[in-house]
Amino acid sequence: MNKDFAIIGLGAFGQQLCHALSDQGAEVIAIDIDEERVNDVAGYVTFAYCCDCTKRSALEQLRLNEVDHVILAIGDHLESVILTIILLKDLGVKKITARAEDEGVKRVLEHLGVEEVIDTRELAVSSLGYRLLSRSITQYVELTGEHSVATVLYAGKEPSATLSEMNVRGKFGLNVLLIRRGKKDIIPSKDDRFEPGDSVVVFGTKNAIRRLDRKIK
pLDDT digits (tens, 9 = 90+) for 45-69: 999 999 999 888 989 999 999 998 8
- Using alpha carbons only, what angle is made at residue 140 by residues 193 and 99, rounded to the nearest 5 degrees? 85
State the alpha helices, DSSP H only, in 29-123.
Answer: 35-41, 56-62, 78-90, 103-111
Please report which confidence band the pLDDT of residue 179 belongs to, taking 50, 70 and 90 as the band edges.
Answer: confident
Rounded to the nearest angstrom, the gap between the alpha carbon of residue 119 and the centroid of all alpha carbons in its chain is 8
Q: What percent of the chain has pLDDT over 90?
A: 19
For 178-211, give one letter per residue: b (16+ CB within 10 A) or e.
Answer: bbbbeeebeebeeebbbeeebbbbbbbbeebbbb
CATH of range 4-118; options 3.30.300.130, 3.40.50.720, 3.40.50.2000, 3.90.79.10: 3.40.50.720
pLDDT digits (tens, 9 = 90+) for 82-136: 889 889 988 999 889 888 877 777 788 887 888 888 776 542 322 222 222 334 6
Q: pTM for this one?
A: 0.64
Picking from 78, 150, 74, 143, the residue whose alpha carbon sits closest to that of residue 112 is: 78
**127-216: which CATH topology?**
Alpha-Beta Plaits (3.30.70)
User: Which residues of the chain form CATH 3.40.50.720?
Assistant: 4-118
User: pLDDT value at position 37?
Assistant: 94
Instruction: Give the residue with greater pLDDT, 7 vs 142.
Output: 7
Please report which confidence band the pLDDT of residue 166 belongs to, taking 50, 70 and 90 as the band edges.
Answer: confident
User: pLDDT value at position 128?
Assistant: 27
User: Which residues of the chain form CATH 3.30.70.1450?
Assistant: 127-216
pLDDT digits (tens, 9 = 90+) for 134-148: 346 666 676 666 777
